Every structure is written in structure tokens, then in C-alpha cells.
Amino acid sequence: MENLILAIESSCDETSAAVVKNGRQVLSNIISSQIDIHKKFGGVVPEVASRNHVLNISTVVAEAMETAAVSYDDLSAVAVTYGPGLIGALLVGVSYAKAVSAAKNIPLIAVNHIHGHIAANYITHPDLEPPFVCLVASGGHSHILHVKTYTEFEILGRTRDDAAGEAFDKIARVIGLGYPGGPKVEALAKEGSIDAVTFPQVEFSDNPYDFSFSGVKTSVINYLHTKEQKEEEVNRADIAAGFQKAVVEALTKHTLRAAENMGADKLVLAGGVSANGALRASFEAAARDKQLQLFYPQPVLCTDNAAMIGCAGFYKYKSNDFADSSLNAVANLKL
């Protein structure tokens, strides 16, 4: 029988709704971004995000249903991101999904946002199946995971401080590029030399897969201060290129190390940072070298969207893993 899931995502600054058929077929994926609203504050303001989700959600869900050309009576379930994320923002999606579930008497599925990012790959690559090693690099997370099945994950490594995307956003701010930082740093880095300035990479002796990105951020700030004190010109493109190189190399090296040690033959990238061209090129080269198959989502599915939540929700549906009306949002939800 045909499975149709209405999915809702509101964990940060995108209000998104999608209708997904049989797990991997996206009938609609409406994403209403609040970037223009938060830009003037230099980053996401949680309370402003929540209020805008409230304003947008009904329209976004209606548009997703209309584009998919399905009726509420056709739906098999409603899936929603319940964490991790901004608590007020998450609550808007969770409340809406609970209301749809109650009004239409259809099952409710609670999806972990990180599972969603991984599942984005199942949409782009219809034949991809676990097990594989996955790097999830987003604004809030940098994890290396062993994805054992569609619903079971083991954390191999993680950041001990800033997430990779967070580092991109912070560097963008200190070199005056504004929010959102990732794509702006990537664009500027193309004009710079990757060898002009070298920033540090961190290794931990007790876990060879863990990351740290706060050191590279401090190092960029110190570099700028020193240049300022000496009244020397700074080349912002060289800084962007050197910073991006340090982050991309660390992500590639640690993930490849994990894939090799796990004996994996498939390597998967996920999360907002996986949209980065330099990251993709670095992983392409490394995967070719080690004869690993490499997968990453199409650009629109790298950053936050509801289609990926619908796909992750489908696999919870198949394992009869449903939530009830007591579902609450969990800001610091673990994997």
C-alpha cells in the first residue's frame, strides 16, 4: 500500500513542510527561510524565529499539501522534528503536528533532526542502504557516525566544542561577511590562496575521530589582531581559504580514518556544511584514493528541509515507532 507522510521541520530558522511518498519520493518540499529577517541581527534570534514559525506554518503546510495534490484523508502519518534545536522553534512544529495527528486521527512520528540529515541521502540516492560511515556537519553538529540500520546509529567521533558550520558562521562574522556564513566564506575562499595563511588542526590522543574547531577560530582572531597592531593589510580571501582548508582537512582526515578502521565501503556526507564545494572535492579525492563509494545530498537537501524528516519518519513508521499526544520538544536531544 502507498505510504504518504506529511513532514514538518521548524528546529531553527527554516519553516518547512513536505509530503513524501513511500519514504524516498518527494511530492512537495516547501521551505520558507527566515534568513532575511535574522540577517540584520548577524545570526538567528531564537524568539524571533519562534514567532515567525507561528506566522508561517499554516501557509507552508497548506502549500505542501496543495503542491503534492493530496488530501489529509490520504495521509498515512505526520512526522515532525522534535529536537535537537531551538526549543521555542521546535514547539511550533511539534504542536502543529500533534494537532494534525489528533484532528485527522493519523499516527504521529517524532524525528531526530540529525536522523533527518542522514536520510536526505536516501532521497538523492534511491539505492543507498545502510550500513555506512557518515559525517554529519551542520550549524549545531559535527559527528562521525556508524549508521548500522535505518534506525540504529553509533557515534564514533564528535566535536568537543564548536560545530563545523558554527565555525564558518563565526569566521564570517569576524571577517565582516555577515550571516549566514558558510556560503559566503566558501565564495570568498575561491578568490584566496589556500597556502597564504595556515591555521591549526587539532588531534586528540584518546579519540582519533573527535574534532575541535574553536582553536582555528581563535587563531583567525589572533591573526587579525596581530595584523591590526602592526597596521598591516589583511587579505580576507586568504584568511577564508586558509580557514576553510583547515576545517575541510580535519573533517576529511578524521572521517576517512573512521571509515577505514570500520572497514566501511560506503561514505556518506550530511548536513549544511556538506553543501561546501571544497569539502565535496576533498572527500571525492580521498574516497577515490581509498576506493570508497561516496554519497552526499543534492544542495537543497543538505540544509534544513522537511523532506528529509519525512524520509527518516518513514523508517520509524516501518518499525512501528510512533509518538503520542504527550510528545514534547527536546532542545538538546541526543542521537
Query: Which spans of this chain sit near ligand KG4 (rule: CB under 6 A)?
Result: 12, 138-140, 165-166, 168-169, 180-183, 186, 271-273, 275-276, 303-304
Q: Which of the listed partners (ligand KG4, Zn ion, none) does 186 bind, with a CB threshold of 5 to 8 Å by partner kind?
A: ligand KG4
Shortest spacing between CB 65 and ligand KG4, in angstroms = 24
Nearer to ligand KG4, 35 or 196 (CB): 35
Q: Which is nearer to ligand KG4, 101 or 276 (CB)?
A: 276
User: Least Å distance between CB 294 and ligand KG4?
Assistant: 17
The count of other CB atoms within 10 Å of the CB of residue 266 is: 20
Partner whose footprint covers residue 314, from ligand KG4, Zn ion, none (CB < 5 to 8 Å by kind) = none
- Nearest Cα to Cα of residue 309 among 87, 79, 98: 79
Spell out a b/e string for 4-36, using b for 16 or more CB atoms within 10 Å of the CB, else e.
bbbbbbbbbbbbbbbbbbebbbbbbbbbbebee
Minimum distance of ligand KG4 from residue 220's CB (angstroms): 15
Q: What does 169 interact with, of Zn ion, ligand KG4, none (CB < 5 to 8 A by kind)?
A: ligand KG4
Q: How far is the CB of 32 from ligand KG4 (least distance, A)?
A: 14
Q: Which three cell numbers stand for residue 286?
A: 580521498
Cβ-based nearer residue to ligand KG4, 65 or 301: 301
Taking the complex as a whole, the smallest distance from the CB of residue 142 to Zn ion amounts, in Å, to 12
| Single-letter residue type at 308 | M
How far apart, in whole angstroms, are the C-alpha atoms of residue 214 and residue 167?
A: 7
Which residue type sits at 66?
Answer: E
Residue closer to ligand KG4 by CB (options 92, 106) is 92
CB-wise, 242 or 272, nearer to Zn ion?
A: 272
Q: Which residues in this chain contact Zn ion in the complex, by CB under 5 A?
A: 138, 304
On the CB side of 209, how many CA atoms lie within 13 Å of its CA? 22
User: Closest distance between Zn ion and the C-beta of residue 115, in Å?
Assistant: 11
Residue 181 or 192 with smaller CB distance to Zn ion: 181
Q: Find the Cα–Cα–Cα–Cα dihedral 142, 332, 326, 116, rounded to 10°.
A: -10
132-137 and 142-147 as β-strands: parallel, antiparallel, unpaired?
A: antiparallel
- The nearest distance, CB 302 to Zn ion, in angstroms, is 9
C-beta closer to ligand KG4: residue 76 or 255: 255
d(CA 177, CA 185): 7
DSSP state of 193: -
Residue 57 or 275 having the CB closest to ligand KG4:
275
Least distance in angstroms from the C-beta of 325 to ligand KG4: 27
Nearest one of 93, 109, 127 to 16, comparing CA atoms: 93
Residue 325 contacts residue 94 (beta carbons within 8 Å):
no
- CA dist 229 to 3, 60, 177, Å? 63, 50, 22
Q: Which of 315, 175, 165, 329 is nearest to 248 (CA)?
A: 165
Q: Is 224 helix (H, G, I), strand (E, B) or coil?
A: helix
